[in-house]
A and B are shown apart, each in its own frame.
Chain A
Amino acid sequence: MTGNAPTTETPPPQWELAAPILEFHQVSFKGTGETSIRMNKFSATIRTGELVEVELERQHNPRDLVSMMLGLNPPDAGEVLYSQQDWLGIDYARHFQMRSEIGRVFAGSAWIQSLTLRDNIHLAMRHHGVTETDAEEKVEHWIQRLSGHQLAKVKWALKKRPSVVEPSVLALCQLIRAMANHPRLLILERPLRFMLESLYDNFVSAVDDLRASGTAVLFFAGGRDEYRLEFRSPVISWRIINGTMNTNGRRRP
């Protein structure tokens, strides 16, 4: 075949992959406790707009794994990249800037107990230069969006310290804090554990809207009801097999 001969082959489809937000390259991680989720030469990528669902068993605690993803604990081996930047070195200002773009709902302790919930929710935004008016507006928007019939309770709770607020309201406030500053990556650790079922639809639509605007979502689902949420397709599933994260997942029926 000569170089100028006409070809009958159709050119390969030219689509562009969405930008990678969180990348794992051969990551090994043991964690600190028996309930920690491990990684064994784990490689995967979460891209803008993607939703990755990880199904947790009752005994699993994703906290230290997520902290490793955020560069707070180093992995035993391999590399974790956020927005194509690593967590290595002593450029702490860059690391903190990167973390400020990530929304996180914590499994377990999530609040600074000496501050009110309002101050807790505003804290990161104000620290990273969002004006008080803008922060108020954003928080108000997400309160209206997520709270449903719990609206009055949430507004009351904002003036209180976390220790006197009931868990279902705290769960809502955690979501508000994580979503308020339009994160590029949203990591949810058992976000619905204490949330009322009647608010699940609000949660799903909020997550889908964030995805539509480019947020990548890593969702550690912690209960049967959570596996059945109707997110917009595609939903990528990762599984935990023998306590180790695996990308060969499939949504539970």
Chain B
Amino acid sequence: MRMTKAAWVLSGAALVMAAPALAADATLTIESWRNDDLPTWQEKIIPAFEKGHPGIKLNFQPTAPKEYNAALNSKLDAGTAGDIIACRPFDASLELFKKGQLTSVNAVPGMDHFTAVARAGWSTDDGQTAYCVPAAAVLHGFIYNQDAFAKAGIQQPPKTSDEFFGDLEKLKKDGTYVPLAMGTPDQWEAATMGYQNIGPNHWHGEDGRKALIAGQSKLTDPAWVAPFRELAKWGPYLGDGYQAQSYPDSQNLFTLGRAAIYPAGSWEIAQFAAQAQFKLGVFPPPVPKAGDPCYVSDHPDIAFGMNAKTKNAEAAKTFLAWVASPDFARVYSDSLPGFYSMQTQSAPVTDPLAQQFLAFRTACKSTMRSTYQMLSRGTPNLENEVWVASANVINGTETPEQAAQKLQKGLDSWYKPAK
């Protein structure tokens, strides 16, 4: 089933020879959940590819993020999916590879541009076979309104947890701005921009995450309860009625200049920069105590793989090789600020806000979201449970300890760490 390297080379050679005959023949359809990126693909990324690859046309065909997984699975089962598949990290795509719907990409030229960590999101558990070419990671942090900080007399963004809450208190006293723009009904905000954002500083990034997977630490350990304890203190600083404030509500609240701090993911950059009428700044998640090492969630987000049933396998391989090349990294990082290339040679980033975010990578140690690898394979699903727990803790309907106990109990009911 797996193609040998020789076969790849041969097929590559065949492609080169057949290229004139193929002219304008191959159209690759790309499945993706990034419907926000459609204009960027059409105006920048696709022309960049087609310029260097005459004979291959790209057709970017995104689905709404919410429906993507379900829609993609049905299309793959029915044999109507596109040639190139945007891969969600970890199990969702691993399942597709195991079903034989994605192929190995080990032999794609340029896969050596990625570290093992970068490939981990789209590799088999033993790390031997990669099935998607990593495209972009997203970083977490906080975006703030510089006017609001000036108004409340905050000189510098907070570095420690105490400073963070001190600043929130100042903003609350000043009263002009809602201190924190976040709501709980959508749940994933609370988990992703709350728990997974501030958590790595407490559980020490990769060390903690790996210990959890290995079964050496538990979600009820102090390091894992601590982020919940912090979240429990967020409630009073959120907007009035935050229990019913949806994700777009929070975005608008911030970009309209009514809130001071927005717990963010780097994917917000382009939209915020376009909409906000005030100066934006960013700061990494505050550390528990001054001098503590800092960690930042640098989460593998998007990769591209090949539909095993594609009729344009050669063209698809050419595209994947391009995704693994520095050319793609440059175009992608540049046209979609906030999505960072995962190649070892970092692509230049021009957007100033995106640059500030990128600086977290050098100042702090990178890690990924704790629930994604292995731990969300069973029922109950840890990631989804963390959504509910984070929202409950902020709403004050569950204590941090109760939330942690429930999560660990759910995990224990099916997860047996490898010995």
**Does A pair with B?**
no
Interface residues of B (CB under 8 A from A): none
